[in-house]
Structure 1
Amino acid sequence: MPYLATSELSSVGSPMLWAGTIAGVLALLVLDFVVTRKPHEVTIKEALGWSAFYIALPLAFGGFIWARFGSGEGVDYLTGYVVEKSLSVDNLFVFMLLLAAFAVPTALAQRVLLFGITGALILRGIFIALGAAALQTLDWAFLLFAAILIFTAIKLLRDTIQGHDQEVDISGMRSVRLLRRFMPVTDEYHGTRLTIRQDDGRRALTPLALAVVAVLATDIVFAVDSVPAVFGITEDPYLVFATNAFALLGLRALYFVLHAALARLVHLSYGLAVILGFIGLKLALHWAHGIWPSVPVIPTELSLIVIVIVLTVVTLTSLRATRNALPAKEDIPADRR
C-alpha cells in the first residue's frame, strides 16, 4: 500500500504519552467544571487570564514536541493547532447564536459551553480513531477526506454568501424536537440543573438541557470537517488528538474574550472556506502522489504560511469592513465609557 504503515501512524504517541495527555485533558476538564460550579458572569479580566493560560499551554506543549521529536513533528503540531483554533473560532460564533436563541443567562453561558466542549472532545476522539483506522486500511481514505473538506468549503462559502449562518432555527432542530416529544420542558431556567421534578412528580427538562443538546448536536457537524482538516496536516493520530484537545479546551474562556469581536469578523467564514478547500486539495494531491509519484505534494511548511496569510487577510478586511459599525465616543453613554 502506498500510504502509511501502522508504525508510522504511531511514531509520536507512545502509550505513556497518550496516557499522560489524556490524564492532563481530564484534569483540565475537571478544573473547568470546578471553576464553573457556581454560576457567575465572567469578567473580561477572568476570561483574558484563562485564555492566556490556554494559549500558553499548547504552545509550551508544541515546544516539547519540537524538542523531543524534531522540527517536522513540531511544525505539524503547530500547523494543526492553528487550523483547529481557527475552526474553533467559527464554532464559537455558532455557539453565540445558540446561546442567544435559547436566551441562556449570562451566568450560565460558560456551563453550556463546557458541556459542549466535553461532548466535542468525546466526538473528536471517536472520529480520530475511525479516521486513523481508515487511513491504515483504505487506499482512498485521503481522497474521501479531501472530498469532505472541499464539499464543506463550498457549502460554507455558499451559506455565507446567502446569509444562512446568521440564523438558528431552534424549533427546527431535530434533537430539540425529539427531546420535547419524550419529556416536558420548563419555561424558566433553574440554575445549572438540567432536569427538575415538577409538582405533579414528573421529571422535566430545563431550557439549559435543550441548549446543551443543541450545542452537542452542532459538535457532530464540527467534527466532520475538523478531524479531516487536521489529518490533512499530519497523519499521526496522537498529534491530531493533541491539536484538537488543546484547541477545544480554551473555548470557554475565549468565547467571553471574543464575544464582542466575533460580530466584527464578518469575513472569517470566507477564510475558513479557503483553508478547508486548500487542505482538501493537499489531501487529494497526497492521494494522487501515492499512485503517481510525479504528482507534487504540498509541504506542511507551505500550508502553515498559507493558513496564516489567509487568517491575517480576512481579519484585516473584516475589521476594515466593520470599522464604521463602532459607535462614536459621543454616542456612548458616559457611565459606559
Structure 2
Amino acid sequence: MSPGTLSAASGSTIASFTLWAVTVAALLLLLVVDIVLTRRPHEVRMREAVGWSVFYLVLPVLFGFYLWAAFDGGVAVEFFTGWVVEKSLSVDNLFVFMLLLAAFAVPTELAQRVLLYGIIGALVLRAVFIALGAAALKSGTWAFLLFGAVLIVTAVKVLREARKGEAHAVDIDSMRSVRLLRRLVPVSPRYHGFRLLVRENGRTAITPLALATVAVFATDIVFAVDSVPAVYGVTEDPFLVFATNAFALLGLRALYFVLRGALARLRHLNYGLAVILAFIGVKLVLHWAHGIWAWVPEIPTAASLGVIVTVLFTVTITSLRAERVPPPPQADEA
C-alpha cells in the first residue's frame, strides 16, 4: 500500500474524537490570541511580523512530526504535501488581500483586523467545503473525476490570466457583493476604527471597513473552491484536509506584513500555481481511472511533494531573476 492510498484504503479518518477536539480547541485558542493582539489599532512592525510568522511555520512542522510518531511516515508525508499546496495557494490569496486593502485604502493600523476577518472567514468556508467534499467522496469515485476537472479548468484559467498579465487584478466596483451592499445600505465615507456599523445623520451605515471585509469574504469563497479539491488530491482524510488548511491559513496575518513588499516581485507565482493545480488535477483523474482500470498508474504522494516543491522553487528563482533584468530602452520621442 502506497502512502498516497492510505486514507483511501481505510475509508475513514485517522483522527479520534479526542484528536479532533484538541485540534479545534487549539485553533480557536490561536484565533483568540490573534483577536487580542489586534484589539488595539497599530502598525505592525517587521520584528513582530517575523516573530509570529516563524511561530506559525514551526507549528505545522511539529504537528507533522507528531503525526509521524503517532501514525506513520505516510500520514506525515500526506500532511506535509497538503500543507505545502495549501500554503502556496494561501500566498496567492494573500496577494489578493493586499490588492483589496489598497483598493479600499484601508489604513495600515486597521489592515491586520481585516486580514483576521478574512482568515476566520476562510477557515469557516474551508470547513464547509471539506465536509461537502468528504460527503461527495463517500458517494462514489465520480468525485475524484469532478475534483480533477475543476482543478484542470482552474489551472487553464490561471495560466491564461498570467499570460495576459491579468493575474491578481482586483476591481472592487465590479464585485457583486460590494455593489449589492452599496445598494442596500448607506456607506460611511470614512473609517471609524474597528467599527463595522455607525450611526450617521439619524441612520445606520456600514463603514468602509465592513465593505472591505465583505469583499475579502467574497474572495475567500473563490479560493475555497480551488484549495479544497487541491488538497483532496493529496489525501482523502478529512482530518488531514482540515489540518493542512488550518495550518496554512494561520499566520497569514503576520506573513502579510513580512511579504507585502516581496509579493509583487513574485511575478511568476501564478504560472507555478497553474502547473501545481493541473498536476494535482491529473493526479485525481488518474486515481479515479485506477479505481476502474487497475493498470492505470497512480502518482505517489512523495512524488507529488517533490514536484510541488520543485515548481515553487523554480518560479521563485525565475521571478527573482526577472526582477534583475533591466527594462528595454525606450526610443526617444521625436
The letter of the residue matching 1:129 is A
**Structure 1 residues 129, 166: closer, same or farther in 2, change over 3 A?**
closer
2:59 to 57, 60, 75: 57
Distance 1:9 1:278 in 2: 24
Asked if 2 retains the 8 angstrom alpha-carbon contact of 1:120 and 1:219, the reply is yes
The letter of the residue matching 1:310 is V
Distance 1:295 1:229 in 2: 21
The equivalent of 2:134 in structure 1 is: 132
The equivalent of 2:147 in structure 1 is: 145
The equivalent of 1:301 in structure 2 is: 302
Task: State the 1:6 CA deviation.
Answer: 8.9
1:44 to 33, 43, 46: 46
Asked if 2 retains the 8 angstrom alpha-carbon contact of 1:10 and 1:238, the reply is no
Partner secondary structure for residue 231 of structure 2? helix
1:161 to 160, 163, 175: 163
Which deviates more from structure 2 when the two are superposed, residues 75-84 or residues 163-172? 163-172
Which deviates more from structure 2 when the two are superposed, residues 253-262 or residues 164-173? 164-173
Q: Deviations along 1:39-61, whole A, 9 cap, x unmatched?
A: 10000100000000000011101
The equivalent of 1:197 in structure 2 is: 199
The equivalent of 2:330 in structure 1 is: none
Gaps of 5+ in 1: 327-337
The letter of the residue matching 1:119 is G
Partner secondary structure for residue 204 of structure 1? strand
Q: Which runs of 4+ in 1 moved over 3 A?
A: 3-7
The letter of the residue matching 2:176 is R
**Structure 1 residues 58, 157: closer, same or farther in 2, change over 3 A?**
same
The equivalent of 1:172 in structure 2 is: 174
Instruction: State the Cα RMSD in Å.
Output: 1.6
Identity between Structure 1 and Structure 2 (%): 67
Distance 1:32 1:10 in 2: 33
The equivalent of 1:286 in structure 2 is: 287
The equivalent of 1:101 in structure 2 is: 103
Distance 2:181 2:107 in 1: 21
Q: Deviations along 1:286-337, whole A, 9 cap, x unmatched?
A: 00000000000000000000001000000000000012579xxxxxxxxxxx
Task: State the 1:161 CA deviation.
Answer: 1.1
Q: Deviations along 1:94-137, whole A, 9 cap, x unmatched?
A: 11110100000000111000000000000000000000011011
Partner secondary structure for residue 322 of structure 1? helix
The equivalent of 1:117 in structure 2 is: 119
**Structure 1 residues 291, 264: closer, same or farther in 2, change over 3 A?**
same
Asked if 1 retains the 8 angstrom alpha-carbon contact of 2:167 and 2:270, the reply is no
Partner secondary structure for residue 260 of structure 1? coil
Distance 2:192 2:285 in 1: 50
Asked if 1 retains the 8 angstrom alpha-carbon contact of 2:145 and 2:288, the reply is yes
The letter of the residue matching 1:140 is W
Gaps of 5+ in 2: 328-334
Task: State the 1:168 CA deviation.
Answer: 1.3
Q: Deviations along 1:260-292, whole A, 9 cap, x unmatched?
A: 010110000000000000000000000000000
Distance 1:173 1:109 in 2: 20
Distance 2:266 2:13 in 1: 38
Distance 1:167 1:229 in 2: 23
**Structure 1 residues 245, 325: closer, same or farther in 2, change over 3 A?**
farther
Distance 1:312 1:131 in 2: 30
Matches within 5 A, 1:165-314: 165-200=167-202, 202-314=203-315
Partner secondary structure for residue 190 of structure 1? coil
Partner secondary structure for residue 285 of structure 1? helix
The letter of the residue matching 2:133 is G
Task: State the 1:182 CA deviation.
Answer: 1.2
Distance 2:168 2:158 in 1: 12
The letter of the residue matching 1:163 is G
Q: How many residues align?
A: 323
Task: State the 1:199 CA deviation.
Answer: 2.9
Q: Deviations along 1:156-183, whole A, 9 cap, x unmatched?
A: 0001111222421111110001111111
Task: State the 1:245 CA deviation.
Answer: 0.3
Asked if 2 retains the 8 angstrom alpha-carbon contact of 1:5 and 1:136, the reply is no
The letter of the residue matching 1:13 is A
Task: State the 1:7 CA deviation.
Answer: 8.6
